[in-house]
Amino acid sequence: MASKFLLLTVFVLDLIAFSLAVAAEHRRSSVSVATEANTKYCAYDSDIATGLGVGSFLFLMVSQLMIMGASKCLCCGRALRPGCSRVWAIVLFIFCWLAFFIAELCLLAGSVRNAYHTKYRTYWSSNPPSCETLRKGVFGAGAAFIVFTGILSQLFYVTYSKTDDGSLPLRQDTGIRMG
């Protein structure tokens, strides 16, 4: 039987991770070209989106570790009973990890790229500096894959729990009869 406490805890962690990713998308660094003493340079605003992205990354990781710890990562526990639930548990396990890696990649790449600020100055005579910022939608994609990961991981855990209930049936016929 699936633990309702674990499912609720994972849901709350995924909800926090999603909220932080959406907040990071809205608080991405913006840039303007500033002028000081005949030089132009890139002036970036606050860097809070990096911290929000890293926080989202960590909450999602804790959520995934809790589900995988409870299910023994599908490979370290007892053998699962054959049937439809086992097939769905394996399929959901694969897609859960795939969505998790994509979400973590988006969050990590977004956080690193948002933290990167160009630090050079140019003179008036040259073109304005190219002030690079994070593209719009990177944290949003991470937030979308957080939702996919949350749904898939909870479905995986529930189907795993159905498959893991009880023990494997004992076979009545254990050998070749000689009679």
The pLDDT of residue 30: 75
pLDDT tens per residue, the chain (179 residues)?
678 999 999 999 999 999 999 999 998 877 777 777 777 777 777 778 889 999 999 999 999 999 999 988 777 777 777 788 888 988 999 999 999 999 999 999 998 888 776 555 555 556 666 677 778 888 999 999 999 999 999 999 999 888 865 555 555 555 566 66
Could you tell me which of 65, 50, 61 has the C-alpha nearest to residue 20? 50
pTM: 0.80
Residue labelled with tokens 């606050």: 46
Please tell me the predicted confidence (pLDDT) of residue 178.
Answer: 65
Task: Write the secondary structure of 5-71 as one string of H (helix), E (strand) and C (coil).
Answer: HHHHHHHHHHHHHHHHHHHHHHCCCCEEEEEECCEEEEEECCCHHHHHHHHHHHHHHHHHHHHHHHC
Buried b (16+ CB within 10 A) or exposed e, 68-100: bebbeebeeeeebeeeebbebbbebbebbbebb
Name 124's Cβ contacts closer than 8 Å, sequence gap at least 6: 38, 39, 40
HEC string of 72-88 equals HHHCCCCCCCCCHHHHH
